[in-house]
């Protein structure tokens, strides 16, 4: 097409693009936190060699850069080693490295470490939603729960106690599993400290609501026990992406009896991801005080999230999953978990990276919508 045939320059208004608008929004966010981090890096890690022209670089890596260097916490956030200090932060990242609830292949005890490692790739700065996590949100890495590898119930008690402590300090909890059985102690801890009811939005290829499995409360049973809690009604549990051929029979009966809302991949295709999530939000939020987000990485197609214990073809695309998570977060949530990332089966860290992105996109959306961080404080 020659220039003469092209529509006039007035035909497309580039200023209407989200990308162009967000460039302006991002430019208005201050950068003092980053500047302080650079100064701290030099103070702790010495001035760089004389041949280095960029004097923001230190000799010993003591900050975000290089992404491949250093001792990793989640996003290189401060390690809250003394948990008594957790109340100083808006968000605590909590590893729950427990995988004795798996019923096929184990390995997700290494999930928290893999997510921390790949998280070092990322800056805090995001064009899609025009937020700067470092500047607008105080995040700490609370480290891991001391789980008891041979004992599911004792591990549940440990996780419940850890999450309770964080909630009690008024901090938003992000749990990184671990297998999906951790959902039960996580929800139990939050429910005990909540007066009203809690809704749950559950992304998964598996229904995870049978009473027991191999005579124990394995990673196929947590929503049975969670919805036995007096303020976690099954009618406010929405299960998105369920299907495939693995482990469903006893759980499907429970879901039917308790009237949870089950959406197959076919439902999502028919409705489209936005309408599907809007319906999920409507049901999960009906008559409740809070909504909890439970994200099983295996809801994403096994080809794109291979590093998991019970992969299933035909799930969401990563782009659909991230869009769905952001839409849930827009309405606000009381906590989230990302489970079933099993690094021994991962390739190119893609599954751990997607888990990391799930957390970052949710936190970014919560900040952008004034639910957490400095914009919440301003509104509140
Ligand atoms: Mn699953």
Last residue of a domain, one of 6, 37, 66: 66
- At 43, list the tokens: 């103070």
Residue 378 has pLDDT above 80, yes or no: no
Ligand 1 centroid from CA 364, angstroms: 25
| Ligand 1 center to 290 CA (angstroms) | 23
According to the model, what pLDDT value does residue 248 have? Answer: 76
Instruction: Tell me, in angstroms, the distance from the centre of ligand 1 to residue 229's CA.
Output: 22
Q: Which domain holds residue 36?
A: 14-66
Instruction: Tell me whether strands 172-177 and 336-339 are parallel, antiparallel or unpaired.
Output: parallel
Domain shared by 205 and 174, yes or no? yes
Quote the percentage of the chain above a pLDDT of 70.
97
What does the block give as tokens for 360?
A: 């970052």
Query: Does one domain contain both 51 and 91?
Result: no
Beta-strand runs (E) in the chain: 91-96, 125-126, 131-132, 139-144, 172-177, 198-203, 237-242, 261-264, 290-296, 336-339
Residue that is written with structure tokens 């893999």 in the block? 114
196 & 335 share domain: yes
Work out the pLDDT band at 187, boundaries 50, 70, 90. very high
Distance 299 CA to ligand 1 centre (A): 6
The predicted model scores a pTM of 0.95
Residue 5 belongs to some domain of the structure: no
The reply to whether 129 falls in a domain is yes
Q: Are residues 28 and 85 in the same domain?
A: no
Buried b (16+ CB within 10 A) or exposed e, 179-191: bbbbbbbbbbbbb
Q: Are residues 86 and 22 in the same domain?
A: no
Residue that terminates a domain, selected from 49, 66, 83: 66
Query: Are 57 and 102 in a shared domain?
Result: no
Are 181 and 226 contained in the same domain? yes
DSSP state for residue 142 in the 8-state scheme: E
- Determine the 3-state secondary structure of 334 from DSSP: coil
pLDDT tens digit string along 87-99?
Answer: 999 999 999 999 9
Distance, CA 107 to ligand 1 centroid (Å)? 14
Within a domain: 305: yes
Give the distance (Å) from ligand 1 centre to CA of residue 265: 14
44 plus 133 within the same structural domain:
no
Q: Which of 42, 66, 90 is the last residue of a domain?
A: 66
Tell me the HSE value of 217 on the side-chain side, using a 13 A CA sphere.
17
User: Cβ distance 352 to 307 under 8 Å?
Assistant: yes
Domain assignment present for 202: yes
Q: How far is the CA of 296 from the centre of ligand 1 (A)?
A: 5
Quick one: 47 and 89 in the same domain?
A: no
Phi, psi at 95, each rounded to 5°:
-80, 135
The pLDDT of residue 246: 84
Q: What is the DSSP string of 64-105?
A: S-STTSS---GGGPPB--SGGGGGGSSEEEEEE---TT-SS-
Which among 163, 166, 168 has a CA at the least distance from the CA of 147? 163
The residues pairing with 44 across neighbouring beta strands, listed in sequence order, are none
pLDDT score of 125 more than 70: yes
Mean per-residue pLDDT of the chain: 95
Residue 58 CA to ligand 1 center (angstroms) comes to 44
Q: Which tokens belong to 270?
A: 């028919």
Q: Mark whether 132 and 279 lie in a shared domain.
A: yes
CATH number, domain containing residue 311: 3.40.800.10
Cα–Cα distance measured from residue 174 to residue 112, given in angstroms and rounded to the nearest whole number = 11
Q: Is 85 part of a structural domain of the chain?
A: yes
In a domain, 4, yes or no: no
For residue 117, being part of any structural domain is answered with yes
Give the distance (Å) from ligand 1 centre to CA of residue 106. Answer: 13
Specify whether 82 is located in the same domain as 104. yes
6 within some domain:
no
Position 148 pLDDT exceeds 70: yes
Centre of ligand 1 to C-alpha 300, Å, is 10
- The domain tally of the chain equals 2
* Ligand 1 midpoint to CA 252 (Å): 14
Judgement on whether residues 58 and 118 belong to the same structural domain of the protein:
no
Centre of ligand 1 from the C-alpha of residue 202, in Å: 10
């Amino acid at each position: 097409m020659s220039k003469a045939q092209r529509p006039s320059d007035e035909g497309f208004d580039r200023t209407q693009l989200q990308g162009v608008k967000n460039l302006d929004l991002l430019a208005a966010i201050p950068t003092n936190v980053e500047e302080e981090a650079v100064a701290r890096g030099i103070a702790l890690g010495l001035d760089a060699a004389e041949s280095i022209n960029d004097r923001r670089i230190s000799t010993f890596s003591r900050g975000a850069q290089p992404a491949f260097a250093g001792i990793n916490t989640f996003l290189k956030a401060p390690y809250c080693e003394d948990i008594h200090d957790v109340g100083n932060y808006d968000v605590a990242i909590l590893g729950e490295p427990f995988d004795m609830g798996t019923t096929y292949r184990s390995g997700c005890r290494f999930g928290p470490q893999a997510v921390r490692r790949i998280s070092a790739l990322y800056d805090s700065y995001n064009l899609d939603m025009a937020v700067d996590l470092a500047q607008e949100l105080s995040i700490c890495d609370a480290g891991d729960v001391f789980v008891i590898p041979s004992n599911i119930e004792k591990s549940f008690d440990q996780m419940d106690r850890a999450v309770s402590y964080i909630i009690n300090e008024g901090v938003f909890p992000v749990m990184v599993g671990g297998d999906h059985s951790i959902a039960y102690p996580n929800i139990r801890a939050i429910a005990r400290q909540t007066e009203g009811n809690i809704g749950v939005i559950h992304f998964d290829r598996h229904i995870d609501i049978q009473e027991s499995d191999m005579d124990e409360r394995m990673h196929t049973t947590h929503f049975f026990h969670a919805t036995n809690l007096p303020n976690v009604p099954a009618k406010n549990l929405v299960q998105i992406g369920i299907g495939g051929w693995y482990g469903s029979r006893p759980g499907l009966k429970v879901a039917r009896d308790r009237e949870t809302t089950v959406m197959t991949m076919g439902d999502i295709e028919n409705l489209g991801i936005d309408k599907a999530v809007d319906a999920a939000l409507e049901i999960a939020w009906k008559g409740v005080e809070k909504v909890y987000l439970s994200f099983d990485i295996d809801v994403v197609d096994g080809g794109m999230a291979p590093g998991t214990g019970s992969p299933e073809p035909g799930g969401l695309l990563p782009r659909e999953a991230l869009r769905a998570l952001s839409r849930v977060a827009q309405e606000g949530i009381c906590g989230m978990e990302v489970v079933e990332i099993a690094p021994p089966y991962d390739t190119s860290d893609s599954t751990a990276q997607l888990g990391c992105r799930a957390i970052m996109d949710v936190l970014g959306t919560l900040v952008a919508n004034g639910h957490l961080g400095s914009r919440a404080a301003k509104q509140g």
